[in-house]
């Protein structure tokens, strides 16, 4: 097990990260009744299920899916992002919740549309449906922020996934860690609690990597990533390299 910084070997030909006005490469299909972004070579037998953050289909997140799908021709993936919030994501203006009204709106959202018990039962159904319709034989799962919590809870005994990744995860709980049964990479930002991450890591019993991005904000690899800032852009790219390397190793 390693928590040390790792030098990425994948992504030798990483697609140029577009800072503004990105045009997604994929399409939208319906899976288990949900609008779902799909990208990647249609003959790829390995799939990645992406659980977005509470802000839904942002270009930064879609670009990340395209990077995962197309970067390494020797390890192609079909990547899927279901719209778990069914067209009603949180408004990004609510974050950070520095005013009472914002906090209330976020609280309501987390207690309704974003309540994990609402999402978790759908994931096995989605994976099963896509496995049949798209020919996926092996699965990885990646989640951002809120999605990181969903990934943690979807990596327990009986999971259909071979490997998991959580980028700047929310709601980190040490009690979730002992039940994780698959290799796991976590990329915390500078806004995650070191104590919570350390307590969570102590409970892990699987191969794992924890790579900190201390100068980045919560959400930098998804909706809150300001890719017009060169430092953010570089760290965004590095984060995806790390995830791909970990997936390649454990798929």
Q: What domain range includes position 31?
A: 27-250
Residues 165 and 243: beta-carbon distance below 8 Å: yes
Residue-level pLDDT at 246: 96
Peptide bond into 96 cis (omega under 30): yes
Residue 14: its pLDDT value, please? 55
229: in domain: yes
Does the pLDDT at position 3 exceed 60?
A: no
Q: Is 13 within a domain?
A: no
For position 164, which CATH number holds?
Answer: 3.40.50.1820
For residue 11, what pLDDT band results from cuts at 50, 70 and 90? very low
Q: What CA–CA distance (Å, rounded) separates 121 from 217?
A: 30
Residue 62 is assigned to a structural domain of this protein: yes
Domain count of the fold of the chain = 1
Better-scored residue on pLDDT, 147 or 106: 147
Position 96 confidence tier, pLDDT thresholds 50, 70, 90: confident
Q: Give the mean model confidence (pLDDT) for residues 73-87.
A: 95
Residue 87 lies in a domain: yes
pLDDT band at 2; cut points 50, 70, 90:
very low
Residue 203 has pLDDT above 80, yes or no: yes
What is each CA distance from 74 to 9, 13, 46, in whole angstroms?
13, 12, 11
In a domain, 153, yes or no: yes
What pLDDT is attached to residue 17?
83
Is 185 among the domain residues? Answer: yes
Q: What b/e string do you get for 209-223 counting C-beta neighbours within 10 Å, with b at 16 or more?
A: bbbbbeebbbbbbbb
| pLDDT on residue 236 | 96
For the segment 116-143, the average pLDDT, to the nearest whole number, is 96
């Amino acid at each position: 097990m390693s928590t040390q910084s790792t030098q990425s070997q994948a992504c030798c030909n990483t697609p140029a990260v577009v800072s503004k006005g990105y045009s997604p490469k994929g399409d939208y299909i319906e899976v288990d009744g949900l609008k779902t972004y799909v990208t990647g070579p249609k003959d790829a037998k390995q799939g990645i299920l992406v659980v977005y953050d509470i802000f839904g289909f942002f270009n930064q997140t879609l670009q990340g899916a395209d990077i995962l799908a197309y970067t390494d021709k020797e390890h192609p993936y079909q990547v899927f992002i279901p719209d778990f919030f069914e067209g009603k994501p949180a408004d990004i203006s609510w974050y950070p919740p520095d005013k009472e009204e914002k906090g209330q709106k976020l609280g309501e959202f987390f207690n309704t549309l974003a309540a994990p018990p609402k999402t978790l039962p759908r994931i096995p159904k989605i994976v099963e449906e896509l496995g049949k319709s798209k020919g996926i034989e092996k699965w990885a799962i990646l989640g951002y922020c809120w999605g990181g919590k969903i990934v943690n809870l979807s990596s327990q005994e009986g999971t259909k996934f071979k490997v998991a990744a959580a980028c700047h995860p929310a709601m980190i709980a040490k009690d979730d860690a002992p039940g994780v049964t698959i290799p796991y990479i976590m990329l915390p930002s500078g806004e995650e609690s070191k104590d919570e991450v350390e307590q969570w890591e102590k409970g892990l019993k699987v191969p794992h990597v924890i790579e900190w991005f201390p100068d980045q904000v919560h959400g930098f690899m998804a909706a809150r990533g300001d890719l017009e800032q060169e430092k953010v852009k570089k760290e965004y790219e590095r984060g995806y390299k790390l995830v791909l390397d970990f997936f390649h190793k454990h798929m």
